Structure formats: C-alpha cells, structure tokens
Amino acid sequence: MRQPRLKDVAEAAGVHVATASRALNDRTAGMISPETVARVRSAALSLGYRVNGMARALKTRRSFAIGMLLPDITNPFFPPIVRGAEDALSAAGFTLVLGNTDNEEEPARRHLTGMLERQVDGIMIASARRDDPVVEQLRDAGVSTVLVNRITQRGGVSSIIPDERVGILLAVEHLQRLGHQRIGHVGGPRNTSSGAQRAQAFADALGDAYRPDLVVHADRFTEQEGHQVATSLLDRSDPPTAIVAANDLLAIGVLDALGDLGRSCPRDLSVVGFNDMPLVDHIRPPLTTVRVPGYEMGRRAAEMLLAHIEHPDRPAETVLLATNLVIRASTAPPTSRNGPTTGS
Amino acid sequence: MRQPRLKDVAEAAGVHVATASRALNDRTAGMISPETVARVRSAALSLGYRVNGMARALKTRRSFAIGMLLPDITNPFFPPIVRGAEDALSAAGFTLVLGNTDNEEEPARRHLTGMLERQVDGIMIASARRDDPVVEQLRDAGVSTVLVNRITQRGGVSSIIPDERVGILLAVEHLQRLGHQRIGHVGGPRNTSSGAQRAQAFADALGDAYRPDLVVHADRFTEQEGHQVATSLLDRSDPPTAIVAANDLLAIGVLDALGDLGRSCPRDLSVVGFNDMPLVDHIRPPLTTVRVPGYEMGRRAAEMLLAHIEHPDRPAETVLLATNLVIRASTAPPTSRNGPTTGS
DNA sequence: TTGTACGCGTTATCAA
DNA sequence: TTGATAACGCGTACAA
C-alpha cells in the first residue's frame, strides 16, 4: 500500500482530518485536547505517516526551500559558504537547492526558473555580475533575495560581501613595507564586483605609485586564466616584484606562470592572494592572502534571507564582513635580482 | 497582483484551463490546434506565467527534485562529485537538494526526513556507513536510491564506487618498486566502506610483508585526525619509510605530523594519498595519490538514479570506477637514514 | 480538438 | 475543542 496520508491517520485515530492536521502541527496542537493530540500522534507514528510537503506548500504558499546560485561549487572558495548557509537553513527547517552557473546567464536563468517554479521561498546569489538583469528581475518580482560575495551596481537587494577595500589595502601595505615598489595586479573579471572593486581598491591603495601597465585582468577566476594573464605580466623586461591577485585561484595561476618561466616565489616575485580558501596554507609556497570568512558569510547570508522572508517590508541592507591579512611564505622583501635598483 | 496562474492564462487566451494546460506542456500540445497553442503560449509569456511546481507535483506525484546526502561539502573531494551530479540532473530537468551529515546519524535522518517530506524523486547518498540503518530504511521504503563513493555491507541498493582494491595495489607496488619495505597505513574510519576496504586491500597487497603494527585508523577523514594518528606511527623507534593514507586529507595530516617531528617528505618518509582531490598537485610536496574521477562518479550516479526512477523494477547494480596512480613528488626511494638497513 | 468535472493532500475558515 | 467544507493550482479521465 502507498504512503499513508492525513486521512488515514485521522481514521486510525478516530477523528476528523482537520483535527488530525491540528494535532500534528505544534503551532495548532494547543487547540486540541491533550488526549486527542496523543492519540493522533501515536497513530501517525505507527502508520509511518509523513506530511506531503507539496500539498502543504500548495496550501500555505511556503515551501521551506531556498535556492542558491553560485558560479561553481568546484571552486574551493564556495564550499565553506554553502556549508554555512546550509547549516543556518537546516537549523531553521529549510532545505537548500543548489545551482552552478559558470558565471553565464543562460544556466543562471535556467536554474532560477526551475527554482522559482518549485516555489522556493527565497534565493541566495553568489554569482551576481555587476550588471545582472537576473537580479533586477528577481527584485522587481518581489522574490526575497540576498547577494553573497558579489553585488550588482544598482542596489535594492540585500547583500553581504567581504570588505575588499581594506583587504586590498592591507595586502598593498604589507608589500610596500617589505620594500616593494613595482607592484602589479592580476585582476578578476571586470564584470563582477569582486573583479572591479578589488582593482579599484588596488589603484587607490597605491595612489601615485599606481602603474596601469602592471595591471592585467583575467576573464574568469580560475587558475588557468591566472596562469595565462600573469605570463604576459611576468614576461616583460621590467616585471613587477610583487603581485596582488584578485583571488587565490588567480594567485595560484601566477605561481604556475612563474614556475614556467623558471623563476620562484618569493625569491623572484612576491604574491598575495584573496579569500584564504582551504589548502592555500599547504601549497608551495604557503600563500599570503586576504582572509575572507566564507562560512560566516554563508551563514549570515542565510540568516539575512530568512529575516527578509519573515519581514519582507524591511529595507534592503548590505553587510560588510571584515577581512584581514594572513602572512605566510609567498611574500618577502624584493631581492637585488628583481629590486627597483637593478634596471638592467 | 499576485503570480498569474493557469486560469489567468486561459482567460487571457480565451480558452478553458484544461486547454491551456495541454497547450503549455510539450507532451500534450499535440492534441491542440497549432493556433490555440500559439495563442496560449503567447498569453503565458506576456503574463509572465510560471507553473506552480507544487501543484503539478501534487497532481503528478513527481517533484523533479533529487536529494543528496554527503558528509561535508567542505571536504575538497566532494565538490566535483556534487558538480557532476548537478550537471546530469539539471540536464534532465531535475533540481538538486543538498544536505551535510558530518557522518552522523542524527543529521542524516533529519535531512532525509525533510527531503522525503518534500517528495524528492530519489536520493543519492555519499555518506553511507558500512552498517547504515538509514540506507536500509530507504531501500525498504522503496525510495529510489544510489550510493556514491561508499557502500553498505548489505546490498540491495545501486551504488558507484572507485576501484579501491586496484588503487591501493598500485600505490603499494609503486612504493615497493622504489625499495620500501616498511610500509604503513593510515586508514580511515572502519565504519565506512572506504576506510575498511582500503585497509583490507592494503593488507592483501602487502601479503607477507604486512605489518599490523604499522597500521593506524583515523576516526574521521580529516587532516586533523590524520595528523594525530600519524604522529603515533611516526613517533616510534622504527617508523615506516612509507605510508599509504586512506585519503588525501589524511595524507596531508601525515605531512603535518612529519613536519612537527622536524622531518621531511619524501626524504624521511614517502606518502601516498587517495582521491587526487583538487590542489593536491600544488601542495608541498606535490602529492602522489590514487586518482578517483569524482566528477564522473557524481555524473554517473545521477544518471543511474534517474534510470532507476524510470525503471524502478530493474535490479540494483554496483559500478566500479577505474582508478590509477598519479605519481608526483611525495614518494621517493628510502634513504639510508630511514632505509631497512639502518636498524639503529 | 476542446470542455467538464474531479482529485492530488493539506490547511484555513466558519460553524457547532 | 472538534467537525464540515472550501480552497490551493494543476493534470487528466471522460464526454462532447
């Protein structure tokens, strides 16, 4: 026989379905006499009854499911975020639906449509681009949304991002204190807030020392892309003595490029990453990087989203999460080989 | 005004809801005259209509959602599996619901209950323990299930796992060929198939050379645990000259322990991991490890699950995915310092 | 080819 | 405190 339904429980307990429904829900069990509640619940237990969430959602217009869009779960920076979100969500009785977008619009739309059709109660987006029509639509459609790690240019939707400005500033100051004067930047995609903001923060931090020709941008936040664009930067007659990368994956790409050229870090080049994603403390050399609390970011994002679902009329807010510099072995003073006085 | 429903579309197109329903579904659109289909679809488009998946699922008893239980998305081995599964699922119009269990039963049950209440059409479990009542229940309840990466002792449910036996054998042979004679094993939790099978395969591969006192087991597949149990193995008067770890995280723990003791890899100890998870090629030293095709495993698992959902009566099958050894820099011949002839 | 009528399983409203 | 009844939005036999 098939899954028992509420009606079966009600019959087994000798009450009406409505009564059974009330007895089973904590919120409404107070209306029912303790004996009846007990009778219904034990009947449900012995029948192995399980509510049909679809029917409930149809009636209550709440699915207790949340969707999350991210570029690629395979990027080691995201799992802690997802884990943080999932922990907060499941603690509140919500379920997490995941979708990878590869930073492209078509998959993003596809996933979004699917999630919305399935009546998710809200959406977290970790894959927003600076100009993202998808986010606009969501906002206009009145869907509870929280942006994570990346924001769009036009606001109107709550978001939580790392303090990129401070992070980059700390990185630059660290390098300058070590004596570096020719500092380059391997930036991320300019159509993302992280790519654009970090590049801007880099320029601002350097001030007069800013050298536009020492800045390159990757089209994606991947090791391969970092490798490729860093090569052009390193393969010139007057390469930088230090590089601030827009994230750890790009930084690793820089290290790869450096190795290809037969040079080594930090002897020939200092490298700073961004995110402090898992395992970068174990790579060669252990990476100096700006730490972003991924787990916290995911957790708080979920909490913000749940709060927004409870109180849809509260204004959007954007939270800036503190970052700090973790100094490891990929940064060191410039040597005479690459120092400013060399000028071959 | 609220979300338009089918009725609104029907009215806008001047037809009955039933007609609108048929016109909107590709499967049934053939029953409807082309003009009507066009009229209905354009009405739907201009109204911004979106089916209510809950109502549809309630009626069709298919949610097009799949649940996946895993120990911890933060363990770098799992993201590729999840990505593979998600890609296959979304290609088939399914949605992925995620749950982290931390290898504990209570969270597993909680997530499972939530997923089942939400009427998922099937479940993938990457967190099974050897004796897992949760899996038994699922099987007995007739829920379509596929086990990934780990299996239970009692079968009856389809599964896909790496060929651990061959992988371990390749690792051991590689070390023996290098000249190692005192080879130890840092095993995983014995209540998981991966922990138990790899330990067994290790013993079998070594045959007469097997030394039970050179085997320790971690209670969890984490770097910390590996660090801890490896210390006891390395901190003895006659430590092994090589260690096969049950997975990469444990292997990294071994490297940590080695560093604590002031020794280095591969000079004082060769280490082989398992999984070839992302970034282990960049750690110090680049890790020799048994490669498991995580993405493929996730993709195929999803495909198997979908097949099972289509044909619930087909018998359970278990797929063994080929593994191979990736030799990098964490393995080398034993030196006189730690070689078999030393015997202090 | 289209319309009628009903049910999927639950909760909310109203009445008793 | 409990029961009767009507939705929630959709798909589908069956009839026309």
Which pLDDT does position A199 carry in this prediction?
98
Q: Does A209 touch chain B (CB under 8 A)?
A: no
Confidence (pLDDT) at B1:
58
Judging by DSSP bridges, how do beta strands B158-162 and B145-148 pair with one another?
parallel
Residue B93 sits at the vertex; the CA angle it makes with B91 and B99, to the nearest 5 degrees, is: 95
* Helix, strand and coil in chain B, % to nearest 5: 45, 15, 40
Tokens 């770890």 belong to B245
Q: Would you state the pLDDT for residue A75?
A: 97
Which residues 58-77 of chain A have a CB under 7 Å from nucleic chain C?
A: 58-60
Q: Tell me whether strands B145-148 and B95-100 are parallel, antiparallel or unpaired.
A: unpaired
Phi-psi region of B97 (alpha: psi -120 to 50; beta: other; left: phi over 0): beta
Å separating the CA of residue B283 from the C1' of nucleotide C11: 56
Distances (CA, A) of A284 to A16, A281, A338, B255, B279: 68, 8, 20, 13, 11
Residue A272 — pLDDT band, cuts 50, 70, 90? very high
pLDDT(A14) > 80:
yes
* Complete edge-to-edge strand list for the sheet that includes strand B270-275: B215-217, B183-187, B242-245, B270-275, B288-291, B324-326
Per-residue model confidence as pLDDT tens digits over A309-325: 999 999 999 999 999 99
Q: Give the A:B interface size as CB pairs under 8 Å.
A: 138
pLDDT of residue A155: 83
The integer distance in angstroms from the CA atom of A44 to the C1' atom of C13 is 25
Contacts of residue B191, defined as CB under 8 A and 6 or more positions apart, other chains included, come to B129, B130, B131
Give percent above pLDDT 90 in chain A: 94
Task: Using a 7 Å cut-off to protein CB atoms, list the covered nucleotides of chain C.
Answer: 1-5, 7-13
Q: Can you tell me which residue has the tokens 């660290």?
A: A174
Q: Which pLDDT score is estimated for A344?
A: 38
Burial B230-239 (b: 16+ CB within 10 A, else e): bbebbeeeeb
CB of A17 lies under 7 Å from some atom of strand D: yes
Question: Tens digit of pLDDT for each residue in A104-154?
Answer: 999 999 999 999 999 999 999 999 999 999 999 899 889 999 999 999 998
How high is the pLDDT of residue A126?
Answer: 98
What number is the average pLDDT over the span A209-232? 97
Q: Which of residues 26-85 of A touch B (CB under 8 A)?
A: 50-55, 57-58, 63-65, 72-74, 76, 78-80, 82-83
| B34, closest nucleotide (Cα–C1') | C1
CB contact under 8 A, A83 and B97: no
pTM for the full predicted model: 0.95
pLDDT-derived band of residue A94, with 50, 70 and 90 as boundaries?
very high
| Whether B39 CB is under 7 Å from strand C | no
Residue numbers 5-34 of A with CB closer than 7 A to any atom of strand C: 5-7, 17-18, 21, 24-25, 28
Most A CBs within 10 A among B64, B117, B297, B299, hence the mutation to make, goes to B117
> 3-class SS at B22?
helix
Q: How far is A97 from chain B (nearest CA, A)?
A: 4
Query: Does the pLDDT at position A190 exceed 60?
Result: yes
What distance in Å separates the CA atoms of residue A9 and residue A16, rounded to the nearest whole number?
Answer: 9
For the cut 90, the answer to whether the pLDDT of residue A2 exceeds it is no
Tell me, what's the pLDDT at A343? 37
In the predicted structure, residue A158 carries a pLDDT above the cut 80:
yes
Q: Which residues of chain B have pLDDT under 70?
A: 1, 336-344
